[in-house]
Homo-oligomer: A and B are copies of this chain.
Amino acid sequence: GAGPGRGAAGLGSPWRWNRLGAGLSLGLRSPWGWDRLGAAIAAGTAERSSVRRGEMAKSTQLIDNEVFRAYATYTAIVLLKMMLMSLITAYFRITRKAFVNPEDTASFGKGESAKKFLRTDPDVERVRRGHLNDLENIVPFVGIGLLYALSGPELSTALLHFRIFTGARIFHTFAYLIPLPQPGRGLSWAVGYSVTFSMAYKVLKTAWLL
């Protein structure tokens, strides 16, 4: 037949792309991991297609995609946790009556009576430090974690990274706000830091192109 499928046999054929994920579905490992990105993305489609036709799903493809789902889940959780710091800051600012912008104290009256609420409060400052520490640590996690999730790690390894980081940062927040005696906060910081470092190592090893 002269169907589109035939064309694929020709050199420079538009159909060459057809083979797209062929190697991957055979379980061959690419010498550079970013192939896995294609695999991860293709997995869902291939998977569904297989299921629809009653074939066995290739679990190794699905796993790659699950890594991205896991990344999405844990990233959303730690970013929501970070956003929570804004609410806690607002809570302490209002209950401690400690503001920084004059316009924020307008509801307490005008002039000197309001001015006295323009002050720093130890609890407010503590939450703000926790918030800044989150920014300093969660931003690298989100950025490096995305690249890590696309670098083809095993699902179990990736989950280990994401879970430890998320647990460490949640513990860090409690350790900062309660506060727990050191080295509780310091250790939880170091654990999260190490997880991000470990993911960065995997990313650099896989992607290295300087």
A residues neighboring B (CB under 8 Å): 1-9, 11-12, 14-26, 28, 30, 32, 34-35, 37-39, 41-46, 48-50, 52-53, 55, 65-66, 68-70, 72-77, 79-80, 82-83, 85-86, 100-101, 103-104, 106-107, 126, 129, 131-132, 135-140, 142-144, 146-147, 150-151, 179-182, 185, 189, 193, 196-197, 200, 203-204, 206-210
Known: A8-B18, A126-B101. A75 touches B24 (CB 8 A): no
- B-side contacts of A104, CB under 8 Å: 182
Chain B proximity of A38: nearest CB distance (Å): 5
6 A-B residue contacts at CB 8 Å? Answer: A1-B2, A12-B55, A14-B26, A18-B20, A21-B42, A86-B193
Known: A48-B30, A68-B37. A179 touches B103 (CB 8 A): yes
Contact A79 B140 (CB under 8 A): yes
Contact B38 A103 (CB under 8 A): no
Contact B14 A25 (CB under 8 A): yes
Having A17-B20, A32-B44, A101-B185, one finds 20 other A-B pairs with CB under 8 Å, namely A1-B2, A3-B5, A4-B19, A8-B15, A14-B26, A17-B18, A17-B19, A17-B49, A19-B19, A20-B21, A21-B49, A23-B45, A28-B48, A34-B44, A69-B207, A72-B147, A75-B143, A83-B137, A86-B189, A100-B129
Known: A3-B1, A68-B37. A17 touches B25 (CB 8 A): yes
- Partner pick for A1 among B1, B14, B101, B209, CB 8 A cutoff: B1
Determine the distance from Cα of A142 to Cα of B139 in the docked complex, in whole angstroms.
10
Determine the distance from Cα of A206 to Cα of B11 in the docked complex, in whole angstroms.
30
Contact B69 A34 (CB under 8 A): yes
- B-side contacts of A151, CB under 8 Å: 72
